[in-house]
């Protein structure tokens, strides 16, 4: 039973296997033990949807892709700050095309149409990383900025289902989505994987609405304390999840939640890394690296990348909640 004294936090998440410790924390009472109540808000369109909800005020916390959070703040969104790390290992993205597509590798996708969930989402940002790796970005320097010619046309499709449909009806050439989430559709031959790409930064970070941060009011102080409790409970849940003694329980938990086969869950579980030191820890260099590559990929401009370096611990991260190392 929810206590009337508990602070309620609306937490956005993607309906993927990575979210298992969040569900575990709710179902095993980790949050309730800390005096907070978590209302899970499913965001199937991913990071772009969550940042939009943080901005409009319908979320308090979001567990979202690192690159989307950093790029959003760099581009002027001040409705949220990063308060922790959720998944320390990088995300492996599958590059998928239609079953009858002419594309057989990443090289043929240059100047093609890429289906994305939303502008600013990981599915929008990572294709730029792909283009940067392939040398497809054409840049012209001006004073203090770098302008980049988009390497693709982007088609906003909102949902994972519509992205899969689009590559099969020919209205887009490819889409990028997390590998294991997409794998069942590769296995069923609905779509075909031509390659993968892995950016060099932590997959998921935790952001909180600035309505709960950076204020001296008693209510804001209470909210900041609640966020610290949230991170502590989530840390306990991730520790429980990856504990070797709980291996069978955790594998079965993911299978039950996601309806994945056991081998796929085991393969994913063997590679994923949640932060051993706790979710409140943020590695400064990981965000600096992310910003640098976002600049190289043309996602942010030079002055925005410099802003990340200069104002990381004030504008991007809230040091009252996070521990920066």
Convert the pLDDT of each residue in 177-223 to its tens digit: 999 999 999 999 999 999 999 998 999 999 999 987 655 545 556 66
| Pair 201, 90: CB distance under 8 Å | yes
For residue 288, what pLDDT is reported? Answer: 95
pTM: predicted TM-score of the whole model, two decimal places: 0.85
In this prediction, residue 223 carries a pLDDT of 66
How many domains are contained in the chain?
2
Is the same domain home to 82 and 135?
A: no
Q: Which residues of the chain have pLDDT under 70?
A: 1-4, 138-149, 213-223
Domain that holds residue 106: 93-197
Q: Which residues pair with 324 in a beta bridge?
A: 282
Of 178, 197, 216, the position where a domain reaches its end is 197
Give me the CATH number covering residue 64.
3.40.190.10
d(CA 257, CA 239): 19
Same-domain status, 37 and 137: no
Query: What's the confidence (pLDDT) of residue 137?
Result: 79
Q: Tens digits of per-residue pLDDT, 73-95? A: 999 999 999 999 999 999 999 99
Cβ partners under 8 Å of residue 158, min gap 6: 45, 117, 118
Asked, for residue 1, whether it belongs to a domain, the answer is no
Q: Are residues 12 and 76 in the same domain?
A: yes
Q: What is the pLDDT of residues 10-20, one digit of tens each?
A: 999 999 999 99
Give the pLDDT score at 167: 98
The CA distance from 322 to 163, in Å, is: 35
Kindly state whether residues 210 and 309 are assigned to the same domain. yes
Residue ending a domain, choose from 197, 214, 240: 197
Q: Could you tell me if residue 2 is inside a domain? A: no
Q: Which of 175, 197, 219 is the last residue of a domain?
A: 197
Q: Is residue 262 in some structural domain?
A: yes
Confidence at residue 147, expressed as pLDDT on a 0 to 100 scale: 57
**Is the domain of 21 the same as that of 149?**
no
Output helix, strand, coil percentages for the chain, rounded to the nearest 5: 45, 25, 30
Asked whether residue 29 falls in the same domain as residue 123, the answer is no
């Amino acid at each position: 039973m929810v206590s009337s004294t508990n602070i309620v936090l609306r937490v956005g998440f993607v309906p993927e296997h990575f979210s298992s410790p969040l569900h575990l924390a709710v179902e095993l009472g980790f949050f309730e033990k800390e005096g907070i109540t978590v209302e899970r808000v499913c965001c199937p369109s991913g990071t772009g949807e969550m940042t939009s909800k943080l901005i409009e005020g319908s979320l308090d916390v979001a567990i979202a892709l690192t690159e989307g959070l950093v790029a959003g703040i760099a581009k002027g969104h001040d409705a949220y700050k990063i308060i922790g790390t959720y998944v320390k290992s990088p995300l492996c993205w599958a590059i998928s095309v239609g079953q009858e597509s002419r594309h057989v590798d990443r090289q043929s996708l240059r100047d093609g149409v890429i289906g994305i969930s939303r502008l600013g989402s990981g599915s929008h940002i990572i294709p730029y990383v792909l283009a940067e790796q392939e040398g497809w970005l054409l840049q012209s320097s001006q004073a203090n900025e770098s302008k980049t010619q988009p390497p693709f046309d982007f088609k906003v499709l909102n949902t994972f289902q519509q992205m899969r449909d689009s590559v099969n009806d020919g209205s887009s050439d490819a889409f990028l989505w997390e590998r294991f989430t997409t794998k069942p559709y590769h296995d069923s031959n609905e779509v075909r994987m031509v390659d993968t790409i892995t950016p060099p930064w932590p997959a998921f970070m935790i952001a909180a609405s600035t309505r709960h941060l950076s204020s001296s009011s008693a209510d804001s102080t209470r909210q900041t304390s609640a966020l610290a409790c949230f991170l502590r409970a989530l840390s306990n849940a991730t520790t429980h999840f990856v504990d070797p003694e709980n291996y069978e329980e955790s594998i079965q938990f993911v299978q039950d939640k996601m309806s994945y086969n056991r081998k796929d869950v085991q393969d994913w579980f063997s590679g994923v890394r949640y932060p051993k030191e706790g979710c409140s820890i943020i590695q400064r260099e990981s965000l600096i690296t992310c910003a640098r590559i976002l600049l190289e990929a043309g996602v942010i401009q030079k002055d925005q990348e410099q802003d990340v370096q200069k104002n990381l611990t004030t504008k991007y991260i809230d040091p009252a909640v996070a521990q920066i190392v």
